[in-house]
A and B are shown apart, each in its own frame.
Chain A
Amino acid sequence: MKKRLYGRIVALVLFDLLVWYLYFVICSAPSSSAFIYVDF
């Protein structure tokens, strides 16, 4: 049970690091999002 939990945590950490890295690769340019244009 504990093993599965640790496995899940490690998988989540690795996935997070991957998507975090990808975010900076793909979205490094200043935002062109329609949402960001809207300043509430």
Chain B
Amino acid sequence: MIELLPLPALWGLFYVLGRLPRPGALTFRRGLMVVASVAILLGATGPATCAFYVALGVATTLGSLWLARCPDGPRRRILFWFMVLSVAALIVVYLAFRIYFQKYFVSLPSLSYLGFRGIALLVTAYSRGGVDLAGGLMQMLFMPVMMMGPITRVEDFGKETRDDLEVLRRLAYAFPMLIGGRLMAAHVLKDVHLLGVLPVWRYWLGALANSLDFYLTFAGYTHLIIGLGLLAGFNLPENFNHPYLATSISDFWRRWHMSLSFWIRDYLYIPLGGNRKGLPRKCFNIVVAMGVCGLWHGLELHYLLWGLYHGSLMACESIMTHYGWQPLRPMLGRAYTPVKTGIVFGLVTFSWLLFRYPMDQLGIVLGGLVR
């Protein structure tokens, strides 16, 4: 379904729907967009996949409405945990048996993103209430965010916005980035176990291209998604803020796929205790949260390694910050910040190799880099 996002027909449809007369203002707009999203899903994936996805979305929405209206007490708490754990179990089962899911439900949009949005909806309904049917359905079924986020919160659909100049600006960013990503993708090494021995520079070029491809393609599509959201009348959360200019790994995660890192922070890191229980526990929580973040991308060892790598780096940063240890600062003077940015870019570019290659290919690539 990702390939639908740049299609002029989709933009035309959203433009027209975003400008239809509004009898019931917000509720009408949200209802209209839910119907359009389901229709697009049906056309793109067929009745079985669409029915499966919509059933999950509707069930979570109805669950959140029930939760919002249920009187406070142990019954409500049990209901909440039952629903959250059911959604979490769905994500785990989906990740474990993704191949089978996608065999029976062709072009199924990511269930793990659906699960993240679902948990956010349930937590909002439990903690603050104020969830309504149209808002809940938008949170679960709004088409542009189905495939790759940003991970919305139900509040994002709480008021209408119109900013056509921003839509034009998003398009102006998106397409050059997507073109750049595609050009970079041509240099990424694929199926390295079949390639034989390559010169060392080719592995380094592949690693750099891989890193740039990830950013340009992901952020490019995100601009399209946010632009489509604005056309529909809603301000979706920002997902990228020049991540490769970050001066630390923690800073990187405040700039890269922000809606995911904020989700991990709010619904995993803080419930684990966050930074409230001392430095060792903080470091442990960071590593666990990032390990889970890694596994969320797939139940495979290289994803876990990727998450633990980021978690360990952030834990090291926390320790250094805690003790005020900045060994490079006196040596580098004014060059300190650019050098730090370069180091973070190098560390992140390395991490994308862990992310990209399964274990059997990862060894070949890492060996090729240092041969």
Contact = CB atoms under 8 A, between A and B. Distances in A.
Bound together: yes
Nearest to B296: A40
Interface size class of A (residues with CB under 8 A): 20 to 34
B31 interface: no
Contact of A22 (B169, B179, B186): B179
B210 A20 contact: no
Nearest to A28: B182
B181 to A, nearest CB: 6
Contact of B185 (A12, A34, A39): A34
A27 to B, nearest CB: 5
Interface size class of B (residues with CB under 8 A): 35 or more
Interface in B1-41: 2-3, 6, 8
Contacts, number: 77
Given A19-B176, A20-B6, A20-B8, A9 B188 contact: no
Interface in B101-117: 102, 110, 112-113
Nearest to B210: A34
B179 A39 contact: no
A20 B181 CA distance: 14
Contacts of B182: 26-27, 31-33
A13 B214 contact: no
B213 A34 contact: yes
B148 interface: yes
B98 A39 contact: yes
A34 B192 CA distance: 13
Given A9-B165, A40-B148, A34 B175 contact: no
B281 interface: no
Contact of B217 (A13, A36, A40): A36
Contacts of A24: 6
B193 to A, nearest CB: 15
B231 interface: no
Contacts of A23: 6, 175, 178-179
Q: Give the interface SS of chain A, mostly helix, strand, loop or mixed.
A: helix
B171 A20 contact: yes
Nearest to A24: B6
A34 B165 CA distance: 31
Taking each of A9, A24, A27, which has the highest tally of chain B beta carbons within 10 Å of its own beta carbon?
A: A27
B316 interface: no
A29 B187 CA distance: 16
Contact of A38 (B168, B181, B186, B297): B297
A10 B296 CA distance: 43
A40 B113 CA distance: 8
A37 B183 CA distance: 15
B221 to A, nearest CB: 8
B181 A40 contact: no
Given A16-B171, A19-B171, A39-B110, A34 B186 contact: no
B148 A33 contact: no
A21 B279 CA distance: 53
Contacts of A33: 181-182, 185, 213, 217
Contacts of A35: 181, 185, 213-214, 217-218
Contacts of A26: 179, 182-183
Interface of B: 2-3, 6, 8, 98, 102, 110, 112-113, 148, 165, 168-169, 171-172, 175-176, 178-179, 181-183, 185-186, 188, 190, 210, 213-214, 217-218, 296-298, 355-356
Interface of A: 9, 12-13, 15-16, 19-20, 22-24, 26-27, 31-40
Given A19-B172, A33-B181, A40-B112, 11 more contacts: A12-B165, A12-B172, A16-B172, A20-B6, A23-B175, A26-B182, A34-B214, A34-B356, A39-B98, A39-B110, A40-B110
